[in-house]
Amino acid sequence: MVQTVAVVGAGVSGLAAIKCCLDEGLQPVCFEMSDDIGGLWHYKENIDKDRTTTMKVTVANISKEIMAYSDFPPLAVYPIFMHNTHLKDYLHRYADNFNLRKHIHLNTKVIQITETEDHKTSGQWCVKYQNIQDNKVTSEVFDAVMVCTGVFGKPVMPTFQGMETFQGEIIHTREYKTSKNFEGKTTLVVGLGNSAVDAAIDISEVAKQVYISSRNGSWIFGRLGPGGLPGDMLMLSRVGFYLLKKFPSLLNKLAMSQCSKKLNHKLFGLNPKFSPLQSNSTVNDMLGYKLLTGEIKMKPGVKQICGHCVEFVDGSKIDGIDSIVCGTGYLPDFPFLDSGVIDVDKSNMYLGMFPPDRKVHTLVVIGCFRQKGPIIPVTEMQSRLATMVFKVIVLSFRFVDQSNLSREPTSCLEVTFIFEKFLC
Ligand SMILES: Cc1cc2nc3c(=O)[nH]c(=O)nc-3n(C[C@H](O)[C@H](O)[C@H](O)COP(=O)(O)OP(=O)(O)OC[C@H]3O[C@@H](n4cnc5c(N)ncnc54)[C@H](O)[C@@H]3O)c2cc1C
Ligand SMILES: *[C@@H]1O[C@H](CO)[C@@H](O)[C@H](O)[C@H]1NC(C)=O
Ligand SMILES: *[C@@H]1O[C@H](CO)[C@@H](O)[C@H](O)[C@H]1NC(C)=O
Ligand SMILES: *[C@@H]1O[C@H](CO)[C@@H](O)[C@H](O)[C@H]1NC(C)=O
C-alpha cells in the first residue's frame, strides 16, 4: 500500500509533486540539496557545484497566465513575462499557500535510490540521503519515489580542434551568472538557444565585441507579438494545436513569415537549417537590435582554435578572442539511480514519466521533458497522474491475488486499465 512518497528536488516539478501527494492523502517527504526551494529559479550569484540556476537577467520566455499552476494564479502586479525574481516569489507563495514547506528537507542531497529486498512484492525503495551541512548519511524506506531533478543536470561541452591551446577562459552557460568579468572583452558565444542568446545579449552590454557561432542557425521568436500582445498567446492555444496537427506545413510557413517580419534571418546570418516546428525555437526580442547595431555578429560553426584565434567552417578567422561561453545545452542526469532502473540514454519512458521495464510503477520521473510550451502545467498533470497511479497500486494489491504475481500491473497500459476500471 503506497503511503510514503520520497520527492527528489523542490523545483517547480517537486512542488507540484508534493501538492498532488497531499491532495491524494499520501505522505510526501521532499529532499532538496540547495538551501532554498525553486530549483532553476533559485538564483544565486556564486556557482553551486552540481546545480543549474538562471542568469541574473533571465526573464521567463512564456507569459505568466500560460505558465502558471492551474490552482494558483500569479499576482496581478507581476509583469506579463516574469523576471526570475518574480517567478521565485510566485513559487514561494505557492509553497506557503498549500503548506508545502513542512514536507521539504533543505540542504539534503539524495545520493542513492535502490530497490528494497522485497521490492518485487512491496514496490518499496530505499532512499539514501546526505545532510550537506554535517555530511550525515541516512537511509529510509519509501513506498514510492518521484524524481523531480529537471533536465538541466549535466552541462554539455563541445569539443573543438585545438581547444586546449585557447589562451582565454572557456565556460559553459551554467557558470555564467552576470557580465561582471566580461568588460571590454571580445567574447565568442557558442550556440543559438535561449541561454546562449541571453548570455550574448547580457555580455554585449559591457564587452568590446560579441560573436555568436551557430552551426545550424535558429528561428528567433519574440515575446512581443502582433499588436503588442504576448506572442505565445497566439501560438499556444487549442486552435493553434489543432491547426498544427492538421496543417503542419502551413503553420511552419506562418511561423517563418512571422519571424521574418521582424528579422531577416538570412541577411543577418542566422540561416536556420531546420523549420520552426522541427527545431528548438529561440525566444528573444533583443537579438535583432543587437545585430543591427553590430554589437553582436553572427558566425558559422567553429572549425578550430589556436591561441586567441578562432577559425570558422567558412574559413573566416577572428583573432583576439578573450573568452568563450558555450551555450551548448544540458542532458538530464540521475547519478543516484542505477542505470537498470532508468536508462537515461534510451529516454523511452511512458508519457516521459514511467520507466517501462518496471513490474510495479512506484517510481516516476516528473518534468523530464522538453517542449515548446510551458513546463509548469505539464508537471502538474504528470504529478496528478503519478499520485493516482500510486493509489491504484493500493487497489491492485488489494484486489489482485497476491500469490498470482503475473496479475500485477506489468505495463503502464495495464496500470491505466486498472486505473480506469477501479477509479473512474
Ligand atoms: C534559463 C532558463 C529559462 C527558462 N524559462 C522558462 C520559462 O519561461 N517557462 C517555462 O515554463 N520553463 C522555462 N524554463 C524551463 C525550466 O526547466 C522549468 O521552468 C522548470 O524550472 C523546471 O523545473 P524542475 O523542477 O523540473 O527542475 P529544476 O528547476 O532544475 O529543479 C530541480 C531541483 O532538484 C534538485 N536536485 C537535483 N538533484 C538532487 C539530488 N540528488 N538530491 C536533492 N535534490 C536534488 C535541484 O537542486 C533543484 O532544486 C527555463 C529554463 C532555463 C534554464
Ligand atoms: C547541426 O549541424 C551539425 C553539422 O553541421 C550536425 O552534426 C548536428 O547534428 C546538427 N545539430 C542538430 C541539433 O541537429
Ligand atoms: C532540440 O533539443 C534536443 C534536446 O536538447 C536535441 O536532442 C535536439 O537535437 C534538438 N533539435 C534541433 C533540431 O536542434
Ligand atoms: C524557454 O527556455 C527554456 C530554457 O532554455 C527552453 O527549454 C524552453 O523550450 C523555452 N521555451 C520556449 C517557448 O521557447
How close is the Cα of 157 to the center of ligand 2, in Å? Answer: 14
Which of 172, 194, 278, 331 has the most ligand 4 atoms within 8 A of CB, as the residue to mutate?
194
Indicate which residue's Cα is closest to atom 38 of ligand 1: 149
Q: Are 108 and 180 in the same domain?
A: no
Which of 280, 368, 369, 370 has the most ligand 3 atoms within 8 A of CB, as the residue to mutate?
280
Number of C-beta neighbours around residue 312 at 10 A: 18
pLDDT given for residue 396 in this prediction: 54
Atom of ligand 4 nearest to the CA of 236: 13
Give the number of the ligand closest to the Cα of residue 279. 3
Beta bridge partners of 299: 213
Q: Are 147 and 164 in the same domain?
A: no
pLDDT along the chain (424 residues), means of 10: 94 98 97 97 89 96 95 97 97 98 98 93 94 96 96 94 95 96 97 97 98 96 88 83 88 89 90 88 94 96 97 97 97 90 80 86 93 91 95 61 45 49 43
Torsional sign, CA 93, 97, 98, 104 = positive
Residue located via cell numbers 511561423: 255
Q: How far is CA 291 from the centre of its chain?
A: 28
291, 311, 329 — which closes off a domain?
Answer: 329
pLDDT given for residue 422 in this prediction: 44
Q: Are 143 and 31 in the same domain?
A: yes
Q: Are 123 and 208 in the same domain?
A: no
Question: Which amino acid, residue 127?
Answer: V
Number of C-beta neighbours around residue 340 at 10 A: 9
Q: Are 325 and 336 in the same domain?
A: no
Locate 93 and state its grid cell.
507563495
Number of C-beta neighbours around residue 319 at 10 A: 11
Q: Are 364 and 246 in the same domain?
A: no
- Report the largest interatomic distance among the alpha carbons of the chain, rounded to a whole angstrom: 74
Q: Are 345 and 231 in the same domain?
A: no
Q: E strands, 62-190, where?
A: 104-105, 108-115, 125-131, 137-142, 144-147, 154-155, 169-172, 186-190
Q: Are 20 and 147 in the same domain?
A: yes
How close is the Cα of 78 to the center of ligand 2, in Å? Answer: 38
Atom of ligand 1 nearest to the CA of 108: 43
Q: Are 213 and 251 in the same domain?
A: yes
Give the number of the ligand closest to the Cα of residue 40. 1
Give the number of the ligand closest to the Cα of residue 280. 3
How close is the Cα of 375 to the center of ligand 4, in Å? Answer: 9
pLDDT given for residue 16 in this prediction: 98
Q: Are 126 and 184 in the same domain?
A: no
- What is the DSSP annotation of 338-362? -TTT--TTT---BTTTB-TT-SS--
Atom of ligand 2 nearest to the CA of 280: 13
Q: Are 245 and 383 in the same domain?
A: no
CA–CA separation, 352 vs 331, rounded Å? Answer: 15
281, 313, 329 — which closes off a domain?
Answer: 329
pLDDT given for residue 394 in this prediction: 61
Give residue ranges with CB within 6 A of ligand 3. Answer: 274, 278-280, 329, 370
329, 348, 381 — which closes off a domain?
Answer: 329
> What's the CATH number where 288 sits?
3.50.50.60
pLDDT given for residue 344 in this prediction: 76
Give residue ranges with CB within 6 A of ligand 2. Answer: 215-216, 301
Q: Are 214 and 144 in the same domain?
A: no
Give ∠ CA 281-283-288 in degrees, rounded to 5. Answer: 110
Q: How many domains does the chain have?
A: 2
Whole-number Cα distances in Å, 314 to 189, 196, 214, 301, 310: 17, 21, 12, 8, 12
Residue 277 sits in which domain range?
156-329
Atom of ligand 4 nearest to the CA of 194: 5
